Structure 1
Amino acid sequence: MVRDPLSGDDSPDLQSVLDALDDADCRTIIRHFDEPMTATEVSEKCDIPMSTTYRKLDLLTDASLLVEGTEIRPGGHHATRYELDFETVSVGVTDTQELEVSIDRPARTADERLASLWGEVRKET
């Protein structure tokens, strides 16, 4: 499921977040993010096969831990770039003894929010 960046709902699915954080390859990918990267760059930097890299990037994106953006390149061959979309992840217990997850996100500029929205629109078409 694609997260709507304009909805204001930053409550990701608990199970999606736990599944992503429980995955060793996903944790490796997170550790290597110091700047936005393409899937190819992630694969090379983390020494993970491309087919696995795409699955792990999808898992992290579905868990709202990564955000996709589009890098506009001359000639029309655009690239998807991935970027960490959290500063901290917290799992806690509610008053009714239910587990909940909250994610603190970095502040985004208007350009970054627009790029994120464009990436979401592109996925839907």
Structure 2
Amino acid sequence: MVRDPFADEETPELTTVLDALDDEDCRDIVSVLEEPMTASEISDESGVPLSTTYRKLELLTESSLLYEGVEVRADGQHASRYAVDFEEVVIALDEDRAFAVDIEHSARSPDQRLENIWSEVRKET
């Protein structure tokens, strides 16, 4: 099933977001992302081993805390680049007195939206 790259992202599960925020390696990764970086660059900057970095990047993107874009290269060896994708995370009680999470995302540029479409195409092929 192909996901609609123009659709608003679904809000992640509260536990997924809390797991990411509670993880020291995840916090270290977020703290070094002043600009988009590859997994290798993130590993070097944060001091988190590369194999661990990949797992933490997956958790952070599932949590909607990081944005994964694709750097298209002429040689065909495209690389994922990651960037912080939130301004604010709010955890509150909803009208049913259940916990709810709301993530305030930064507006995506046209280039980021195009990267998102390319990422979805790559996942489906």
Q: Same fold (TM over 0.5)?
A: yes
Shift of 1:8: 1.9
Name the counterpart of 1:109.
109
Shift of 1:9: 4.0
Shift of 1:112: 1.4
Name the counterpart of 2:53.
53
Name the counterpart of 1:86.
86
CA RMSD, Structure 1 to Structure 2 (Å): 1.5
- Per the normalisation by structure 1, the TM-score is 0.90
CA separation of 1:115/1:29 partners in 2, compared to 1, >3 Å: closer, same or farther?
Answer: same
1:30-79 deviation digits (Å, cap 9, x = unpaired): 11110000000000000111110000000101111111111112211111
- Per the normalisation by structure 2, the TM-score is 0.90
Structure 1: gaps spanning 5 or more residues? none
- Could you tell me how far apart the structure 2 residues matched to 1:27 and 1:117 are? 28
Shift of 1:6: 2.3
Shift of 1:117: 2.3
1:62-117 deviation digits (Å, cap 9, x = unpaired): 11111111111221111110111111111111121100000111111222112112
Structure 2: gaps spanning 5 or more residues? none
- Could you tell me how far apart the structure 2 residues matched to 1:98 and 1:70 are? 37
For 1:8, the aligned partner's letter is D
Residue identity (%): 52
Is the contact between residue 16 and residue 63 of structure 1 (CA under 8 Å) also seen in structure 2?
yes
